[in-house]
Structure 1
Amino acid sequence: GLSRAQMENLFPGYELPADVTAAGWYRGAGKESHGECWARVASVAAELRAAAAALEADRQLVVVAHHDFLCNLLNALIMGDHAPQGRCETWKHYNTGITVVDVAATGDVSVLMTNNVPHLSATKELISGVST
């Protein structure tokens, strides 16, 4: 992955989380297990809800994630403790697909858009990741 300096250079003006170190964000030794993924998902979902509850005005936040993490995060946000852990059958995402959710101060979540790829409309051959 990218180092903190690389991220800051590529995306000036973006506010990176404090836990993104000089070495980047991932500290694991290879692919994480389903349990490790779910623990990270639960932590991020809780952070998103806490951040939304503390807002005084609307704010946009971008999460860049791989398919499995994103699917599990959406499951956690929508279904909470009842979410199927490690199963990615509910959501399908193309590579670089855009999903937009609204997390209200109450913790309620609305999915506004899922798997949108308008940025690839001129180059449809780049649309990949799920059956096209």
Structure 2
Amino acid sequence: MSAGHGALAVAAGVVAATGTRRADLAVLVAAGATRARIVATVAVETGTAATLGIVLGLAVAVPPLAALASGLSTATGTAVAPVPDVGVTALAAGTCLLVAVLAGAVTAARAVRSSSSVPERRHRSGRAAHRY
């Protein structure tokens, strides 16, 4: 249940942040960037930010866990391991990363597609230009 709420919070934050960049994305398209390149760029930016958040979150969480484990070991006289379950931690981190990247890419794609200020590039003949 907690992981679901966390994923929802990540998605909502990314959607809000990407949605506020509509004008920036429209400028990129007007400057010649393709929609696919913009979506890929937003996905990479979002993935980088999510990865940084994961690394910083672990850096902040592990020292208090080690201190708590040390205190419990002293108080109870039994060894308490300060290491969280690696599989569960990796699953949570991977899920957050995936949700963030997908939310950013989908929001960017919708923002670029729905922007009325984004002109369609056309040849002089009137046909739509091929995008790479």
Task: Please give the TM-score of this superposition, normalised by the length of structure 2.
Answer: 0.28
Instruction: Name the larger-Rg structure.
Output: 2
Instruction: Judging by fraction of residues, say which structure has more strand.
Output: 1
Structure scoring higher RCO (CA < 8 A, sep ≥ 6) equals 2
Instruction: Judging by fraction of residues, say which structure has more helix.
Output: 2
